[in-house]
């Protein structure tokens, strides 16, 4: 990693402002008071503990949801502070604002090793606007800045790049870990590399696909984006989701894959439905023989078995995007079967993206993967080979 990390600086007794990503799912039926998944909270515990063990005064800042510059009571961070307190087995104070007199007073009261969680950054429109004054107010609360929020590293906001203009700025242990794993794919591929890329639209993942060509020995395409490739091959996909304006692009990608030594895998059988609904009538058809009136909703069992066989022998496997319409349980089965196959591989396994991580979590397989990324958009942009603003802004090693 070419940026300074927490290990490179002396944090003893310092006031540390730590950007975390506590944008966790909340139960809407409980007015935001119940956390449905605390993966992102648990992921930053090593950084917080590292700072506490060195008597730093730890001030955490995060956003939650999309309040659009307004105070939204259901998006306050007090429930997250309570959960963090349980995980740390230590008190975590919470402030009712993230800047101004109340935040300043709360920081001033911190003793060595204590932790404070500021209020939702996005209650201020200045956060997403990267307002210099807002960034300066945040920075005034600390002596050093630690970015441990990989999930927001692709955002040029006040709390990700603005504060770096005022403070020594380093990566936290989670951010360092995220980059370390993703560099095994993007900058220093550990071959043979297998990649599974799914999702609805090939246009959303085109840059990612092109960046993986030549790096990935095995490149499996799933979800609705596979339909466009199938149609580009002249196969019948019935009434399936397809991007007709991307057919020429799909043909170019397939040709480029062959030229650069990446073997593309598309479904050979598919689960089709008579309508887009959770309770639709379904059947399994060969991938290129979907009749009119039916639409592809998931990869079939023969496809998943073929994917598992193709991934055998890969040293590294990365997965982003489901194979089917995973929001409907009966069309998540292909992805669930694939998750179990990947979890059993003798390889470094990496998964990222909200839907994909949710699938792995619901299958009870999080601990079976080497790395479950906390990033959604940031994970995809890193796979695309982009420089993420929140990482670029940190101090160079």
How many angstroms separate the CA atoms of 68 and 198, rounded?
Answer: 30
CATH class of 184-383: alpha beta
Average pLDDT for 179-204: 94
Q: What is the pLDDT of residue 189?
A: 87
Average pLDDT for 20-34: 84
Check if the beta carbon of residue 363 is closer than 8 Å to that of residue 130: no
Q: Is 354 a catalytic residue?
A: yes
Q: Is the pLDDT of residue 119 over 80?
A: yes
Q: What is the pLDDT of residue 11?
A: 98
The domain spans of the chain are: 6-175, 184-383
pLDDT tens-digit series, residues 97-113? 999 999 999 999 999 99
Give the percent of the chain with pLDDT over 90.
Answer: 96
Q: What is the pLDDT of residue 282?
A: 98
Among residues 40, 57, 184, 215, the one annotated as catalytic is 40
Judge if 6-175 and 184-383 fold alike in CATH terms: yes
Q: What is the pLDDT of residue 28?
A: 78
Among residues 83, 377, 385, 386, the one annotated as catalytic is 377
Give the percent of the chain with pLDDT over 70.
Answer: 99
pLDDT tens-digit series, residues 351-396? 999 999 999 999 999 999 999 999 999 999 999 999 999 999 999 9
Check if the beta carbon of residue 164 is closer than 8 Å to that of residue 393: yes
- Select from 3.30.1330.30, 3.40.50.1260, 3.40.50.1100, 3.10.20.30 the CATH code of 6-175: 3.40.50.1260
Average pLDDT for 51-62: 98
CA separation (Å) from 279 to 275, 276, 282, 331? 9, 9, 9, 10
Q: Is the pLDDT of residue 1 over 90?
A: no
Q: What is the pLDDT of residue 32?
A: 63
Q: Is the pLDDT of residue 27 over 90?
A: no
Q: Is the pLDDT of residue 262 over 80?
A: yes
Among residues 201, 210, 315, 386, the one annotated as catalytic is 201
Q: Is 205 a catalytic residue?
A: no
Check if the beta carbon of residue 79 is closer than 8 Å to that of residue 89: no
Q: What is the pLDDT of residue 29?
A: 73
Q: Is 100 a catalytic residue?
A: no
pLDDT tens-digit series, residues 204-253? 999 999 999 999 999 999 999 999 999 999 999 999 999 999 999 999 99
pTM of the model as a whole: 0.94
How many angstroms separate the CA atoms of 142 and 134, rounded?
Answer: 14
Q: Is 385 a catalytic residue?
A: no
Average pLDDT for 339-344: 97
């Amino acid at each position: 990693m070419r940026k300074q990390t927490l290990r490179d600086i002396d944090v003893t007794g310092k006031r540390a402002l730590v950007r975390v990503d506590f944008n966790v799912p909340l139960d809407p039926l409980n007015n935001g008071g119940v956390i449905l998944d605390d993966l992102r909270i648990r992921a930053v515990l090593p950084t917080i503990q590292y700072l506490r063990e060195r008597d730093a005064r730890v001030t955490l800042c995060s956003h939650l949801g999309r309040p659009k510059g307004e105070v939204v009571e259901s998006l306050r961070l007090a429930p997250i502070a309570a959960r963090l307190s349980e995980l740390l087995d230590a008190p975590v104070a919470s402030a009712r604002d993230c800047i101004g007199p109340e935040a300043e007073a709360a920081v001033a009261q911190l003793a060595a090793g204590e932790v404070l969680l500021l209020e939702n950054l996005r209650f201020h429109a200045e956060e997403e606007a990267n307002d210099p004054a807002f960034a300066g107010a945040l920075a005034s609360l600390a002596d050093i800045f630690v970015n441990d929020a990989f999930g927001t590293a692709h955002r040029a906001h006040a709390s990700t790049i603005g504060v770096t203009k005022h403070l020594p700025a380093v990566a936290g242990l989670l951010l360092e870990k995220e980059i370390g794993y993703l560099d095994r794919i993007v900058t220093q591929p550990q071959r043979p590399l297998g990649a599974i890329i799914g999702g609805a639209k090939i246009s959303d993942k085109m840059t990612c696909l092109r960046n993986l060509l030549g790096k990935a020995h095995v490149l499996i395409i799933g979800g609705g984006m596979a339909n466009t490739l199938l149609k580009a091959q002249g196969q019948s996909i019935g009434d399936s989701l397809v991007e007709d304006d991307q057919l020429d692009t799909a043909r170019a990608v397939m040709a480029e894959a062959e030229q650069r030594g990446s073997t593309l895998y598309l479904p050979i059988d598919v689960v089709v439905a008579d309508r887009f609904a959770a309770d639709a009538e379904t059947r399994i058809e060969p991938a290129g023989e979907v009749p009119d009136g039916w639409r592809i909703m998931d990869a079939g069992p023969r496809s998943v078995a073929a994917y598992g066989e193709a991934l055998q022998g890969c040293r590294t496997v990365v997965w982003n995007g489901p194979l089917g319409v995973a929001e409907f349980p009966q069309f998540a089965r292909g992805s669930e079967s694939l998750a179990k196959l990947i979890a059993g591989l003798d390889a470094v396994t990496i998964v990222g993206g909200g839907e994909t991580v949710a699938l792995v979590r619901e299958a009870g397989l999080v601990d079976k993967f080497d790395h479950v990324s906390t990033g959604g958009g940031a994970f995809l942009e890193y796979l695309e080979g982009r420089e993420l603003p929140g990482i670029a802004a940190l101090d160079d090693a």
